[in-house]
Structure 1
Amino acid sequence: MTNVGYSAQTLRVLVVEDEPYTREELTEFLADTAEVSEILAAESGEAAVRLLGGGAFDAVFLDISMPGLDGMDVARVISMLSTPPAIVFVTASDSHAIEAFGIGAVDYLLKPIRPERLAESVARIARLRRATTEAPPADELAVVQIEHSRRTIFVRRDDIQFAEAHGDYVRLHTADGTHLIRLSLSYLEDVWAPAGFVRVHRGYLVAVGWVHDLRVTSSAGLVACTPAGDVPVSRRHARGLKERLIEAARNGQLGRAAK
């Protein structure tokens, strides 16, 4: 199935689902998204591996529970490809979420599939693909230039402890204060991910190296504590943040405030 209007910025997608109704529904939802140009479908893990060996894909929407090769098996095959596509798991249970993100999944969708939730995944994949194909410099926005009425302020990315969505702007929090910049939080999430910034809430990114502890409060629930202030952590992102903090601690990447 192919959408008209193919361009270099659209996505070639593989759907892997053993249930015919869900496979057809997912294919139809994807066909309605502007970012997707071509969709192939596989009814099993074995069929998916054959298709993956025959051509490149930008994304694979992958059921986990399938007879024979299940979704996790297929994901491990994908991880060995020279240019692996983005993986989005589509499943009826959240019990595999930790393992899925450990494999490197971009997203994890629960059945029944909601079109708006699927559209979020597609948009994220498209952003990641643009960031890769347009090849921004590895140090892009290592220094943020902020224009005021009669002066320009330069803020080092490494001094930014967390970023907060603020309407059409993002508020950057440092030890010396805050600064507003007209960028989207999603863009900063993609560009700054290699520098250790992670999404912890719909409206917040935090620099893992600046987090000195996690705390449960009566007003905000779980928060990540940084010298510049406390950052709310949503339930959806809590486990992922904890895993990143453990990894950073093992690698000696925590404790910037003490250095």
Structure 2
Amino acid sequence: MTGTTHASPGLRVLVVEDEPSTREELAALLGGIPELAEVVSAESGEDAVRLLGTPAFDAVFLDISMPGLDGMDLARVLSRLSAPPAIVFVTASESHAIEAFGIGAVDYLLKPVRPERLAESVTRIVRQGRGAAEEEPPADGLDVVQIEHSRRTVFVRRADVQFAEAQGDYVRLHTADGTHLIRMSLSYLEEVWAPAGFVRAHRGYLVAAGWVHDLRVTSSSGLVACTPAGDVPVSRRHARALREQLMEAARSGRLGRAAQ
């Protein structure tokens, strides 16, 4: 079953969701966004595939856990089109985020979706279509990082982050209390956090010098920087700069303490 909601002139999008009330709510929210011209709904992956012969969609908002052709499989089908639509996953779990961005998703929304978060995704789709950068890093120097979860917003202080790990288009921030996934490039984080003592330890890792209590050579990983939140691999390329940064932290009395 499909449905159509018309909005003002703009993009044509498809909503793929097997749960009727969620599908209707998402379509209604999208229908109220000015940048969208038409919102079409599909109740399954198979239903969505049948709609691909109609005029092209600019974006597809799809659930992951669906019977039959699930969201990940459908996304792979869409990515093979000659003019693939932007893909936004709308799901109840964070567990597929890395795979989703590996497929090329523009965004990954957690249910229940807040209207302002949905509007942000549409903005990213519009900017992507114009060739602008997709990445929208938080402002204010990133002293505090705001991270959206399904029903809450978490604020992570930079001083609490012991190391950062690149995961596709995301970065996983490691703290004493756990980890947090945020959409951002590691290179951008390195640029804005370098003055606070964050240094590249490996192609895929940044470490806060103030949290490193020692460097150690292991049989499995080679040289690692040890922090309370875990060990960080150190590549040969970055070992010298890291050692210099740790020496500076030691001279200033910051070694083994949080980066402020």
- TM-score for the superposition, normalised by structure 1: 0.56
182, 191, 194: which one pairs with 1:237? 182
Alpha-carbon distance, 1:121 to partner? 0.4
Larger Rg: 2
Q: Which whole-Å CA distance do the structure 1 matches of 2:109 and 2:18 have between them?
A: 16
**1:59 is matched with which residue?**
59
**1:85 is matched with which residue?**
85
Residues 15 and 26, structure 1, Cα contact 8 Å, conserved in 2: yes
Alpha-carbon distance, 1:238 to partner? 7.5
Q: Which whole-Å CA distance do the structure 1 matches of 2:185 and 2:71 have between them?
A: 21
**2:7 is matched with which residue?**
3
Residues 14 and 42, structure 1, Cα contact 8 Å, conserved in 2: yes
CA deviations 1:61-81 (Å, max 9, x no partner) are 000000000000100000100
Alpha-carbon distance, 1:221 to partner? 1.4
SS at match of 1:40: strand
SS at match of 1:13: strand
219, 228, 231: which one pairs with 2:159? 219
AA aligned to 1:61 is: F
Distance 1:101 1:218, change over 3 A: closer
**2:34 is matched with which residue?**
34
Distance 1:240 1:70, change over 3 A: farther
Q: Which whole-Å CA distance do the structure 2 matches of 1:112 and 1:237 have between them?
A: 18
**2:23 is matched with which residue?**
23
**2:13 is matched with which residue?**
13
Q: Which whole-Å CA distance do the structure 2 matches of 1:69 and 1:240 have between them?
A: 31
Where does the alignment leave 5 or more consecutive residues of structure 2 unmatched? 143-156, 165-170, 174-179, 188-201, 205-236, 242-260
Alpha-carbon distance, 1:127 to partner? 1.1
CA deviations 1:61-104 (Å, max 9, x no partner) are 00000000000010000010001000000001111111101101
Q: Which whole-Å CA distance do the structure 2 matches of 1:79 and 1:95 have between them?
A: 21
Residues 222 and 233, structure 1, Cα contact 8 Å, conserved in 2: no
Q: Which whole-Å CA distance do the structure 1 matches of 2:130 and 2:51 have between them?
A: 24
Residues 7 and 33, structure 2, Cα contact 8 Å, conserved in 1: no
- Give the fraction of aligned pairs with identical amino acids, expressed as a percent: 60
Q: Which whole-Å CA distance do the structure 2 matches of 1:202 and 1:45 have between them?
A: 34
User: What value does the CA root-mean-square deviation take over the aligned residues?
Assistant: 3.5
Q: Which whole-Å CA distance do the structure 2 matches of 1:64 and 1:11 have between them?
A: 23
- TM-score for the superposition, normalised by structure 2: 0.56
Distance 1:79 1:233, change over 3 A: closer
AA aligned to 1:101 is: F
**2:48 is matched with which residue?**
48
Residues 89 and 105, structure 1, Cα contact 8 Å, conserved in 2: yes
Distance 1:100 1:74, change over 3 A: same
SS at match of 1:237: strand
Q: Which whole-Å CA distance do the structure 2 matches of 1:47 and 1:218 have between them?
A: 45
Q: Which whole-Å CA distance do the structure 2 matches of 1:218 and 1:24 have between them?
A: 39
Alpha-carbon distance, 1:36 to partner? 0.7
Where does the alignment leave 5 or more consecutive residues of structure 1 unmatched? 132-186, 191-197, 206-216, 225-231, 247-253
Q: Which whole-Å CA distance do the structure 2 matches of 1:238 and 1:87 have between them?
A: 15
Distance 1:85 1:218, change over 3 A: closer
SS at match of 1:236: strand
Count of aligned residue pairs for this structure pair: 166
